Amino acid sequence: MKQIEIEELIKGGVVKLKDKDLFSVWIRAVCNNMDAVKLRRLADIADRYGRGLILFTTRMLPILPFIHFDDITVVKEALNKADLVLDRCGARVRNSDVCYDANVCERAVLDPLSLGEKLDHFWQTDPGGHKIKTSIAGCERQCTSPRTLADIGFVAREDAGRKGYDVYVGGKLGLDPFVGERVAELLNEDECVTLVRNFTEFIKTNGRPGERSAHLMGRYGKKDMSRALTKGLEIKTAITRKECETKQAFRTDKTKILRIRATNGEVRSEQARKIADVAEKYGLGFVHFSLRGSPEIPGIQESKLAEVMRELKDGGLGFIENGVDNLQSCFGRYCTNGILDAQALLQKTEELIKRLGLNNLSIKISASGCPNNCGISPLSDIGFTGVSDPEVVANKCNGCGICPKACRVKAIQIIDGIAVIDEQKCKYCGQCAPSCPFDAIISKRSGITVLAGGTGPHFKDDDYPVETELAREIMTFGDEKKALLTAENILKLVKAENKNVIALIKDHGFEKFKEEALAGVDRDKERREIWLKRK
């Protein structure tokens, strides 16, 4: 299959997997919710055309993996009959990620669904050529991570009786992660839409092909870009909106949001049907797709909670009631970019957590198969990322110039007819090797990078400032055994001091924390040092 065909499929929400002729199909979930009827139909399609698996992903939407190329058309037809459509993907505008509305979540300062509906309508006209993600959080807890996962992120807050959205621009993970910069404060919904209109005009006029907002800000500077995005905010952008079908018209008192454990975001079709049944019988009739891959059923009456949990356990489903938060990964083992089997590593990490008897639900652990970090490793207390170190085989390289075009961080150039890799710029994604038709680039080593200390904002009653921080590197190019031992050391510290990792780093200092995290990891090196001292 030609690369151009794969790229066209990606734009339509169909993404190639590692195995021959197998793809994943990305399903749109308006408001990041799906009603019970549609979820059952999705389970039926997964059974018939996939392998009976639905992925609850960091994109806060469902994905059906293992769809054969020959079945793509019929799967699209089946989805259409179920009133389901494919999500936008590739270098396109993505649908807005939102958390719960104020009728479901008591912490919500504003109703993020309302703004999401307006932006969803606004984005019906795709500016083309740019990946643009928007994310809206109803309070400063920022459950949708708008500062790190969105080109334009909105965070609702209240200040001196005034409510509005702070707007952040430039958030992204990937090979060069960036925490978004605040460009406006306490805007109302209409002003937010106008700012998005300004952003669209700015990136169409000044953006380079495929350029993200972080790179655009890097070229123009925060000050100039902020000025361009906030001009004329008083001029209202006329739009209509289609109300989210799962939006609730009233607050349900004394209810809970039930979070279901789904390691790696994997839910079997029969489990999805059970979740749909419970949402319909006891909840608000829909399921929410959360950032951490745990299916959520809102609106469960406290008096019915024990009954609901028994029913779900009978269906083989567990809950996020002990241990740590849901362990989430990307496609990992079956992604075309995958270096690390993220799913297998997290399953072993889950066993480790049980063995340690750790119970701290604030701790977040995730794994990404490669440095694209779709598994949101940099946003976790502990994050694992697969890495590959490329090397040019000089006698095979003819200086064709393909690999410099394939390298997304411009770490390769042709010098004297040979490809040369800048090790300072290389992000170890490994994608230059498969781009070479002459096998002139190989992976001289591959392994796992362990990150620690990634976090969303701390809250005002915490001991530390309200900030979003990306995880820092503890170890790189380790094998699975070393990665798990490093994680074990960190989790023992977490248990002993009953703190999250960023608090431990701030208390101990990063270098001391890193030393404690790596204690005993390189035993061969330790043995050699002891032997040298004896000599």
- 459, 467 contact by CB (below 8 A): no
Domain ranges of the chain: 3-92+248-319, 105-229, 337-525
301 DSSP β-pair partners: 255
Rounded to an integer, what distance in angstroms lies between the CA atom of residue 451 and that of residue 383? Answer: 5
Q: Which among 495, 491, 475, 492 is positioned nearest to 483, based on CA atoms?
A: 475
pLDDT of residue 459: 55
Q: Which among 388, 375, 494, 470 is positioned nearest to 432, based on CA atoms?
A: 388
pLDDT of residue 250: 53
pLDDT of residue 535: 44
**Tens of pLDDT, residues 329-357:** 999 999 999 999 999 999 999 999 999 99
Task: Indicate the SS3 state at residue 98.
Answer: strand
**Tens of pLDDT, residues 31-61:** 899 999 999 999 999 999 999 999 999 999 9
Sign of the C-alpha dihedral, residues 4, 61, 147, 206? positive
Q: Which among 89, 86, 91 is positioned nearest to 76, based on CA atoms?
A: 86
CATH topology identical between 105-229 and 337-525: yes
What's the pTM?
Answer: 0.93
Q: What is the distance of C-alpha 443 from the center of its chain? A: 26
Question: Is 105-229 a domain of CATH 3.20.20.140?
Answer: no
pLDDT of residue 456: 79
Task: Considering the domain delimited by 337-525, tell me its CATH architecture.
Answer: 2-Layer Sandwich (3.30)
pLDDT of residue 110: 94
E strands of 222-294, at which residues?
A: 255-261, 266-268, 286-289
Which residue ranges in the chain fall short of pLDDT 70? 1-4, 125-128, 241-242, 247-253, 458-466, 523-535
pLDDT of residue 237: 79
Which DSSP string corresponds to 311-337? HHHHTT-EESSSSSSPPEE-SGGGBTT
- Topology at the third CATH level for domain 3-92+248-319: Sulfite Reductase Hemoprotein; domain 2 (3.90.480)
- Which residue intervals of 50-110 are DSSP H helices? 72-81
Amino acid at 342: A
